Chains A and B, each alone.
Chain A
């Protein structure tokens, strides 16, 4: 733990991350490509009663499903949505069926291109996808571009700039310099695409620790709005070097989320009215950390 004497204005609590840095109506990038999914902060958005969110990411897993089930989401922008290897996102499926959600679907690569464009400050990036099949026909605003050098037709994949990115990572310092290793997927580019970045980490470390291996820093602190220390903040996904993936939890959610009642009961049990202490008492942290912790 750091003992810096400089008072940080970025270091805050999980509760304040959700209350002060994510607003109703925001477009929110959810970090975590299977790894380091920001479940704790996502769950805090549910407890905070956020409404009208547009959530976006390439491959959206059960955190997206839970935010939809909790009524936080008006629109989802995605490349994939489901419960990996288990099945469908049942809450999304029900919301489509009852007309209570808007959606816009891309592909994983085109979502990465959209975020990359925003991160780089260009209005679009050319892509060699979305030129065939039925996906482009469901994206009425999608345009193509003729390459001025070769004359080829490419998709003009538009930039997507989220209002805020929520990200979980291994560690950060008080300045918000955030280090994420293992599977990064599109988490870093999605964060850098966003106007604001809110980070939860397993550990707060001294600036010297960060600066001793700066290649691990994927988000410079200058870009980070707020950082909170939330151990186990990615459960039931995993954090490389800290704890493994709780596969059975994904399987269990696959079962209970088949009905709206089952999903709401799950949210009551695991999210609403459950603080972090209680949450952690409900999982076998020792088993999940065995053989993983550095």
Chain B
């Protein structure tokens, strides 16, 4: 079955390279990384903020500290080990999702509305700010929900690009590079979210349907290859699994 989750996570998985060190969050980012690990990137080192380096969870973990994150990991250090590696610039790629993303690739997981009097008070950064500020490059995976795609996020939890399209001072790495949704693939090479590809059978208007601004197109907008049987089989192993520890 090719559903929205399959489309966005498999497309995100393809942006991760074999042999890379990959720092991930819980949920869709973990799913994308696990698909990569069990298809084209068996040599990828999967890293969780709890201290696991080279993790290979047998189930989709509910928490970065879940038993499955520890069991079978190549190395179980502490937070300082993994965040230290991150801060030292030795983690190639991160995968994150968030409640909101904006055209500069800034992510918001803190508040919807005003900071002190929010409409929705959310979970805050966790490791998201740290990953976005420090990782070599960032892959973002988001459901296609136009309310979550905005010109300026209500709160920049995890910094992407500044208003001039460049990385803000004090950050390392390239920042956001790829953004995958069930409809589209966006890149940020031009300094802002740019439509670079569409999911199979999708047209460019549908890819950005409901967005509040005109998203620029790359010179060539490609159509992504459909998920392979191998990718779907890998996804099926975790997808819809009741996250049992």
Contact = CB atoms under 8 A, between A and B. Distances in A.
Interface of A: 32-35, 58-59, 61, 78-82, 84-86, 88-89, 92-93, 96-97, 105-110, 112, 116, 127-135, 138, 153, 155, 182-186, 188-189, 237-238, 240, 244-245, 247, 250
A127 B171 CA distance: 11
A34 B50 contact: yes
B127 interface: yes
Interface in B76-105: 76, 78-80, 83, 86-87
A109 B65 contact: no
Interface residues of B, number: 56
Given A84-B64, A134-B110, A182-B67, 4 more contacts: A84-B62, A84-B63, A88-B120, A89-B123
> What are the 6 closest A-B residue pairs judged by CB atoms, nearest first?
A34-B65, A131-B170, A80-B126, A84-B63, A82-B123, A132-B168
B74 to A, nearest CB: 15
Interface in B132-173: 132-134, 155-159, 162, 168-172
17 contacts: A33-B50, A33-B65, A61-B63, A82-B123, A82-B124, A85-B63, A88-B123, A97-B118, A97-B121, A109-B87, A183-B52, A183-B70, A185-B65, A186-B80, A188-B78, A240-B70, A247-B62
Contact of B127 (A82, A108, A184): A108
Given A34-B63, A238-B245, A247-B245, A85 B26 contact: yes
Contact of B67 (A108, A184, A238): A238
Nearest to A288: B245
B39 interface: no
A134 B78 contact: no
A80 B124 contact: yes
B193 to A, nearest CB: 17
A189 B51 CA distance: 13
Nearest to A128: B87
Contact of B66 (A34, A106, A127): A34
B52 to A, nearest CB: 8
Contacts of A184: 51, 76, 78
Nearest to B172: A128
Contact of A133 (B67, B129, B244): B129
Nearest to B49: A108
A179 to B, nearest CB: 15
A126 B124 CA distance: 22
B83 A134 contact: no
Contact of A129 (B78, B134, B156, B243): B134
A96 B130 CA distance: 24
A165 to B, nearest CB: 15
Most buried by A among B51, B63, B117, B242: B63
A244 B129 contact: no
Contacts of A247: 62, 242-245
Contacts of A182: 67, 70, 76
Contacts of A188: 78
B83 A112 contact: yes
B27 interface: yes
A88 B122 contact: yes
Interface string B156-199: 11110010000011111000000000000000000000000000
B204 interface: no
B212 to A, nearest CB: 20
Most buried by B among A61, A131, A183: A183
A131 B245 contact: no
Contacts of B63: 34, 61, 84-85, 245
B64 A34 contact: yes
B45 interface: no
Contacts of A132: 133, 156, 159, 162, 168-171
Nearest to B119: A97
Contacts of A105: 110, 124-125
Contacts of B86: 109
B79 A108 contact: yes
Contacts of B127: 79-80, 107-109
Contact of B78 (A93, A109, A189, A238): A189
Given A86-B62, A105-B110, A138-B115, A131 B169 contact: yes
